[in-house]
Structure 1
């Protein structure tokens, strides 16, 4: 269950009990800096760097699936509780938290420590991505993009070239689908995973999500074609794909249970990890067919309600995001520092980097609205109805568009309301 922001505000008195009951949070030292984050390999690395930046016991980290982290953060911070000090936010959740006034502005600290931590090494596009309403609110930690993973040994054996279009992808998935191995992964667990997958189809086949006035267009003819294609593609996905997110799809690829599909850059290194993967050296990558897959700049922000030393926390984040730290972490995530992105040795050391650079050029970020995750709750629910056959595609998208427009009208997006 994901709670809506407007309902969490009535839970202020119940927040500690609810959070403890829902997440079974361990007790931590009263003066410890509490960091919460989504769990994935790159974030495990960077949160450990935060732990190492301060003396032992000063930092505690809790990693969990993204939907649980955002639910916990929303409940806690809407109550203005100081129970969270630092939190991971992706590009879309960041805008919502900043718009709600829940994050500490970092401008003064950024200026003070700009030279010491070489913060000018972040390109302006990245600074813009972690800024809202003219203020910096987050330390950029990784640039992430979705890649197309595929079994190069199997495709070569079948005489199939890596797909460049969605039609070629469909044909390859159909041909490679067997009783033993799915033709493609598909991650349709609500909300984040399903929204990522739908975003690709909506941009590569459809016309995107909104027009220039934030009116939904995802239910137009092109949008219906996009979700119809997704429905057809699901025939070649593993069982249970509607409950699969990044972890499940990564395992399906690692264990040889699926041939290809869309997955994050941050999961590429895991394909060649002999302790986890049965397909070491057999996976390759290209930019997602048709383009339009998600690109994100993610980071860690400081809660405005934290009672911990904010300067100390900023320095902890800057240390974790240092040039040395990011060079080491480049195998797990694309570092948003110019000096590292321009390092030609990366392409030789990490063989998925050329595909990642191409994916960045063809990718598309989520719409720049603070409420897009709330829109995602609506849209993914109806997309799943369409994909699973519970409703006709056009009817499901029309219903999603109507509910989306009602939500955005209620939140003041339209001048004529």
Structure 2
């Protein structure tokens, strides 16, 4: 139907142009020619208006260029909130203007969102979600459990239309298991150093390259200095935060979570060194109050000028130059994540966030994928680059001054989690027991061994370790 109407309009335009050409070719009939030309212009304008209306119908609404589904369709997305994912959620919601289409986004705290996904998808029934926000570990856990839909056919189908080759291969690899792509990369991320250049200059401080040098900076500023909340922070405000800091330190010391047979490796010498370094930094730089100082606390303190340095996510670093959030953008500076020793990798992990489609989603996967692409296309990522680290190479110029430090951290850092699906169990058990070190309820070795024992029990029950 669409092609027939378009052909008719083009034929009408051709006839109009033909008469204009004939009328202007002779000396006679200039008055008639003028009338014909006026008439043809009116017809052409009408045709253009009709074509514009048809194109608007076919291309959706402003900000969402997809055709309306034939029947009422409700798309539900779940994820967690930080500035760039808030932006992407707004991009998804622009498709609410398309006829017969409703897009609902639900952004929770990270741990809460992931728990909701596990509860919903582990039941084996239809998924209540059509789009699931995930990070690297979710690919291993959720796709490894068979909960997520391979997207290879859809990626191939829309590769050229959405220029998906502009997203680096490394980002696609983060969503890939055994050649199957399970997610569309929407966010690049890592943790790196953010500091006040004016404070460092005033005190004659060098930008720290190692965590021992971070401790020297903290000693120079002074833990009891009432001008500041604290000299420096890492995030130990929740179990998952402990686990991430531990993973970065562990890898930097040459260790890893699991052996090749999926037995625990994290409670060995490298693990003990990693936790000891975390405690050493916390004691010198944060004090007891630092253990409850959250990511939001870090961000706001930097913006208000009550925190001189921190190790923070690149996804939040974009807010450090937002004049509506802070007037200190000119003196806030960025550096790569510190190392644990002079020759170790940087203790900064490589993260991507993805939009994934559950295998048991009941709506059309093609429609869901195209809605995802409305948030992940180049136009949307240009806007997203103002508030976070995007994945498309072409939009790097739209990003903030933190990008060189973030990219150097990724290049020289410890990488991302292994794709072993048992990693999800490791993370959960470490998140349960590591905070008990901070409270004094367990020693370092006791907590690591307890996490290892709990992991072995669960991993054996799930078949990851031979009983």
| Category of TM-score, reference length = shorter chain | 0.7 to 0.9
Q: Which residue of 2 aligns with 1:259?
A: 308
Q: Which residue of 1 aligns with 2:156?
A: 111
412 and 108 in structure 1: CA distance in 2 versus 1, 3 angstrom threshold: same
What SS does structure 1 have at the residue aligned with 2:104?
Answer: strand
CA contact (8 A) 1:145 1:296 kept: yes
The one of the two structures with greater contact order (alpha-carbon pairs below 8 A, sep at least 6) is: 1
Q: Which residue of 2 aligns with 1:357?
A: 407
155 and 214 in structure 1: CA distance in 2 versus 1, 3 angstrom threshold: farther
Q: Give the distance between the partners of 2:244 and 2:337, measured in 1 at CA.
A: 12
Q: Which residue of 2 aligns with 1:152?
A: 197
CA contact (8 A) 1:185 1:252 kept: no
Q: Which runs of structure 2 are paired with 1:391-402 in the superposition (5 Å)?
A: 391-402=442-453
Q: Which residue of 1 aligns with 2:265?
A: 217
Of residues 160-169 and 111-120 in structure 1, the stretch that sits farther from structure 2 once superposed is 111-120
Q: Give the distance between the partners of 1:49 and 1:200, measured in 2 at CA.
A: 32
Structure 1 vs Structure 2 CA RMSD: 2.3
Please, what TM-score do these two structures have when normalized by structure 1?
Answer: 0.85
191 and 111 in structure 1: CA distance in 2 versus 1, 3 angstrom threshold: same
1:234 equivalent in alignment to 2:246: no
CA contact (8 A) 1:92 1:368 kept: yes
2:146 to 67, 82, 101: 101
Shift of 1:127: 1.8
Q: Which residue of 2 aligns with 1:310?
A: 365
Which contiguous aligned blocks of 4+ residues in structure 1 show a shift greater than 4 angstroms?
Answer: none
284 and 381 in structure 1: CA distance in 2 versus 1, 3 angstrom threshold: same
Q: Which residue of 2 aligns with 1:386?
A: 437
CA contact (8 A) 2:151 2:180 kept: yes
When Rg is computed on C-alpha atoms for both structures, the one with the higher figure is 2
303 and 212 in structure 1: CA distance in 2 versus 1, 3 angstrom threshold: closer
1:410 equivalent in alignment to 2:461: yes
What SS does structure 2 have at the residue aligned with 1:331?
Answer: coil
Please, what TM-score do these two structures have when normalized by structure 2?
Answer: 0.76
Q: Which runs of structure 2 are paired with 1:60-139 in the superposition (5 Å)?
A: 60-79=104-123, 80-139=125-184
What SS does structure 2 have at the residue aligned with 1:89?
Answer: strand
Q: Give the distance between the partners of 1:332 and 1:369, measured in 2 at CA.
A: 32
1:32 equivalent in alignment to 2:45: no
Shift of 1:244: 4.2
1:329 to 374, 384, 392: 384
CA contact (8 A) 2:150 2:182 kept: yes
- Give CA-to-partner distance per residue, 1:218-275, whole Å, 9 cap, x none: 3223322221121122222265544444223222322333222221101112122233
Q: Give the distance between the partners of 1:377 and 1:179, measured in 2 at CA.
A: 37
The gaps in structure 2 that reach 5 residues or longer are 1-71, 340-345
Q: Give the distance between the partners of 1:270 and 1:77, measured in 2 at CA.
A: 34
Shift of 1:67: 0.5
- Give CA-to-partner distance per residue, 1:71-106, whole Å, 9 cap, x none: 111112223243211110111012211122222222
276 and 93 in structure 1: CA distance in 2 versus 1, 3 angstrom threshold: same
CA contact (8 A) 1:148 1:260 kept: yes
Q: Which runs of structure 2 are paired with 1:267-286 in the superposition (5 Å)?
A: 267-277=316-326, 279-286=328-335
The gaps in structure 1 that reach 5 residues or longer are 1-29
1:339 equivalent in alignment to 2:384: no
What SS does structure 2 have at the residue aligned with 1:335?
Answer: coil
Shift of 1:109: 1.7
Shift of 1:209: 2.7
CA contact (8 A) 1:107 1:136 kept: yes
Of residues 64-73 and 363-372 in structure 1, the stretch that sits farther from structure 2 once superposed is 363-372
